[in-house]
Amino acid sequence: MTSGRLQDRHVLLTGAGGGIGLAVAEACIAEGARCSVIDRAATAPDAVSAAQQRYPDRLVYIAADVTSAQDIQRLLTEAIAAFGPIHTLFNNAAVFDLAPLLDSDEASFDKLFAVNVKGMFFVMQAVLRHMVEAGTEGASVINMASQAGRRGEALVSHYCATKAAVISYTQSAALAMAPHGIRVNGIAPGVVDTPMWDHVDSLFAKAEGLPPGEKKRRVGLEVPLGRMGMPGDIAGAAVFLASDEARYITAQTLNVDGGNVMS
């Protein structure tokens, strides 16, 4: 039983081909929303296709690269054509890499900042411009940061810096949009059990000489609540921030991390 907190609202989600993004989309649909799901795969991933079968009138998939200005304008046009004015942006597209500081190269820097910062900002800018022009009532943006944006990590310097930038842009955008009645907030997850974390685990295994799965096991045990997060743990926070229940919350980045970061 749901409360219809997002009834007939249009939520646009980037990086939503699976994992957290798709979990948030399904949670929004359960609350009455229509969702434009964006990912870079040319055709809808299997998990998205399955969701489309369950919600044929409430979910559309759009293939786009958030590092491309042309793609950003196209995805916006296609999303509006599908479901009308956008009420909420869940700005989630991101990539991960790691390397010892002295070995980290320009290619890794460029890749991470292109998606995690440039893509995040220009998607947000395009959607906010649309929201201002459309005068969308109850409009909001949710940018996905990370606990990595709250602190440095020896092997993850570029990724940490990108997520710190997300938190900073969230604050600046919230102040810029407050006169328009548009809220901008962030979510900083901790360690979340998704396919992306399997990739993260493999990188740590190589860098730290660990057997596969060991880094993932350790970080789960280190969380004060005793486990890694699940995509649904993030979805609840996202629905809340998108809803009118959060109408007086802006410029905040909510830690959803099982107690890893205290602020």
CB 237 within 8 A of CB 246: no
- List the helix and strand counts (H, then E) for the chain: 9, 7
Spatial distance between the Cα atoms of 197 and 148, rounded to a whole number of angstroms: 14
CB count within 10 Å of CB 246 equals 18
Spatial distance between the Cα atoms of 219 and 100, rounded to a whole number of angstroms: 19
Q: Is 51 helix (H, G, I), strand (E, B) or coil?
A: helix
Spatial distance between the Cα atoms of 17 and 25, rounded to a whole number of angstroms: 10
* E strands in 17-97: 34-39, 59-63, 88-91
Catalytic position from the list 55, 159, 169, 248: 159
> Is 159 tagged catalytic?
yes
Q: Is 54 helix (H, G, I), strand (E, B) or coil?
A: helix
* Residues involved in catalysis: 159
